Amino acid sequence: MALNKIQHHFLENQAKNQVLRLREGQIVEGKIEQLYQDDRAKVRIGSSTLIAQIQTALSVGESYYFQVSESNEQIYLQVVQGEGTNRTANLETLMNQLQVRGSRVNRQFLEGLISRGIPFNPAQIHQALDILQQQPNKAESIAILQQMFQEKLPITENIFQALSTFNSNQFTTVLEAVYQRLVQSDTPLNNQELALMKLLQQIVQRPESTNEMMSKQLLQQIKQNPTMVSMYQMLGMFDESLSQDEVIARLETYLQSKQSQHFPQGALQSQSEIQTLFNQTNQQITELLQHEQAIMRTALKAISIYHPLQANALNDQELTALIRMIKQELLPLLPKQMQQHITQLLGSMTLDDQSSLSAMLRVIGNESTFTNLGYDDIMVSLRNQLQVPSNDLLSTQQKQTIVQTAMQIANQHQLNTATTLNQQQLTALIQSVEQELLPSLPKETSDQLAQLLQRTTLQNQASLLSFLTMVGNQDITRTQMAQEQVATQQMNQGQQLPVQQQLLGQISHYMESLGLTMEHDFIQALQTAQQDGLQTAAQAESIKSLLLQMIQRGGQQPEQIQQLLNFINGLQLQTLTESNQMLQAQMYIPGNPFALNEDIFMKFESKKTEDGKIDEDYCRIIFMLNLKQLQETIVDMQVQKRIITVTIFNDVVSNMVNDSVMIATMKENLNELDYQLSTVDWKPLSKQEETSATKKEYHSAYQNQEGFDLKI
């Protein structure tokens, strides 16, 4: 994986740029590189070099194990074993002194620490080996433990498990495992579990287009009410030649593939054409509902007067009279598309077609048909109100209340796409909607939904269930609230919300929801409260805080809960790494909210200024993305003296179609920020590892550490 290449490359750089810090009791290997007069020597430990005072006869080119001791604020390095050229024998001797069993795994672990110049003390070694002994995959465990030593993390089981989970799992996969367990729970969720499911939903669910949302609703309706196929065919939504089974199959294929040619209507070429089709159909449904009573009355009247139609027993004269009645009384009540469809059907009608005409009239005269269409209409209307910026009808807080209430009702009654309720369950569900959801809706929407609830039966319950589950899946987040406020301000000023501000809003919301800064925020709140003599304010709930509450509550906890908590802890441990000269940060962002194939990975590296801040003149940022068309893509941006070079690694394309236009735009925008774009290179991703190995790093001039005096 390309991510492994990046991690390995940055890990090497991190080791090179860390200043050696020795502590009492640590053991480290040092190589004598040069001897000076007055008993001084140049010693290399890992990638660091120091000048030390020697009190023992040592040989140039030989390596020794030293143990660190402190006396009178002075660091001393004491040789713990004599000179030797046999590396294996030296290591065996050291292992004996440390009372470590001389197994192959133990030897491999110690050799890794020593070869990297990572200091360790005997207690840490025994703690690490106790953890290592319990792990099935020794190679991966050794790498994690060495990472813990290198990053100076406590050698504990909890931290090991956090890093192990983090290194071996995709973030979205871990999040989805917990979310699906909550969604598929056999028992009603408590308040903590509901809050956790809502936070997870905002991260794991991919943005759903109106096309997908409406297609799901149509699919559920048709499966439970086959007569709706003919109604949608009359409205022009589906191809008239398709049967119910064919419509269902094509809708399922479309929802899985997201390819417009699979939608059950002609040769649609794009998603925009499907959107236009939905808009036209929804407009017709609105017109149809305006004459609902008159249409049903006329259709039932025709069936009653010409009742032999239901037995295919009309003669030519009766069929002609029925057709004339339909044209004169029914067609003027219908939308234009339906008029054209029915007129075409009547024009070729024969005595043999009486069954199809009878079926059409029964569909049009069935109240359940209009109830289903009514839920379609209100769903589109409400979705538009939930997704657009705050207006006079709904504030963002009201939107959140609507979505939260719908989700709670769906959970309370255990609703999903396969649910079928009995009469008692349906009555209880309708009462919940009337008492809990209706009061939070705008009056017009509330009145319309109240009428539909009165007409909802066991036969058309699918529309109500679909309506509730889809409203409960709307993503109304705190980020949207903040963005809407900024958008409103900028709209008043004739401006548009910048893309970078939208991205920062998403990242900020993601970090807050996940709880990455939970401990820091709590300490800050506690300090502020103590200074002001106030009680600590309640902290906003996050995924991490809710997971901790669930674990502390006790009882049988699912494995997925602990795994997700471990992953978040591992993510926190990996987020920021500092040395005297360098700062490194990395972040994983779930890719689903951005409709990406995999999670987003970002790695940042910068020199530090004299006051310890990021040096904007010397830094590097790497983005790893898995895009729908370009697939796996890495963008490597390096800044040296405010001159920027960009390298894009990808195996699908070698450059962009409008490469020159893109570069010109980049140069112009960067110039405004006092940066200069040097080059934009495209390289094959498969050769990235080789390229990285031969590339001269921008901070190479700063790798050699200044010497300091020690006594040996």
Q: What does 358-416 look like in DSSP terms, one character per residue?
A: HHHHHHHT-HHHHHHHHHHHHHHHHHHHHHSPP-SS--HHHHHHHHHHHHHHHHHTT--
Query: What are the contacts of 648-655 at 24+ separation with CB within 8 A?
Result: 648/680, 648/681, 648/682, 648/683, 649/2, 649/682, 649/683, 649/684, 649/685, 649/688, 649/691, 650/682, 650/684, 650/685, 651/684, 651/685, 651/686, 653/682, 654/682, 655/682
344 and 391 part of one domain: no
Does 555 fall in a domain? no
Q: Yes or no: say if 221 and 372 are a contact pair by the CB < 8 Å rule.
A: yes
14 and 55 part of one domain: yes
429 and 410 part of one domain: yes
CA distance 605 to 694: 19
3 state SS of 351: helix
353 and 446 part of one domain: no
Does 337 fall in a domain? yes
Q: What string of DSSP letters covers 500-531?
A: HHHHHHHHHHHHHHHTTTHHHHHHHHHHHHHH
Of the listed ranges 32-36, 275-279, 286-290, 574-578, the one predicted with least confidence: 574-578
CA distance 150 to 117: 9
CA distance 277 to 269: 12
Query: What are the contacts of 544-553 at 24+ separation with CB within 8 A?
Result: 544/514, 544/515, 544/516, 544/518, 544/568, 545/515, 545/518, 546/192, 546/195, 546/196, 546/199, 547/196, 549/192, 550/192, 550/193, 550/196
Domain containing 333 equals 210-369
Exposure b/e, 573-594, CB count within 10 A at least 16 = b = bbeebeeebbbbbbbbbbbbbe
pLDDT tens sequence across 466-517: 888 878 777 654 445 444 444 444 444 444 556 666 667 777 778 888 888 7
pLDDT at residue number 698:
29
141 and 288 part of one domain: no
Q: Of 447, 407, 465, 494, nearest to 200 (Cα)?
A: 407
353 and 407 part of one domain: no
Does 543 fall in a domain? no
Helices 423-432 and 461-472, packing angle to 10 deg: 40
380 and 470 part of one domain: yes
331 and 437 part of one domain: no
455 and 570 part of one domain: no
pLDDT tens sequence across 80-129: 754 444 443 477 778 888 888 888 899 899 988 888 888 888 899 999 99
pLDDT tens sequence across 459-469: 888 888 888 88
Does 521 fall in a domain? no
639 band by pLDDT with thresholds 50, 70 and 90:
very high
Query: In total, how many domains does the chain have?
Result: 4
36 and 150 part of one domain: yes
3 state SS of 677: strand
**Residue ranges with strand state E in 118-263:** none
Does 551 fall in a domain? no
pLDDT at residue number 694:
36
Q: Is the pLDDT of residue 518 over 70?
A: yes
- How many percent of the chain have pLDDT more than 70? 82
Does 597 fall in a domain? yes
25 and 156 part of one domain: yes
242 and 313 part of one domain: yes
Does 550 fall in a domain? no
Does 636 fall in a domain? yes
Residue after which a domain boundary falls, among 426, 457, 474: 474
How many Å is the Cα radius of gyration of the chain? 35
Taking 3-state DSSP, the helix, strand and coil percentages for the chain, each rounded to the nearest 5, stand at 55, 15, 30
CA distance 703 to 712: 25
Q: Which two tokens stand for residue 703?
A: 């790798």
CA distance 167 to 570: 8
pLDDT at residue number 295:
94
pLDDT at residue number 264:
92
Residue after which a domain boundary falls, among 449, 474, 499: 474
Residue after which a domain boundary falls, among 369, 386, 416: 369
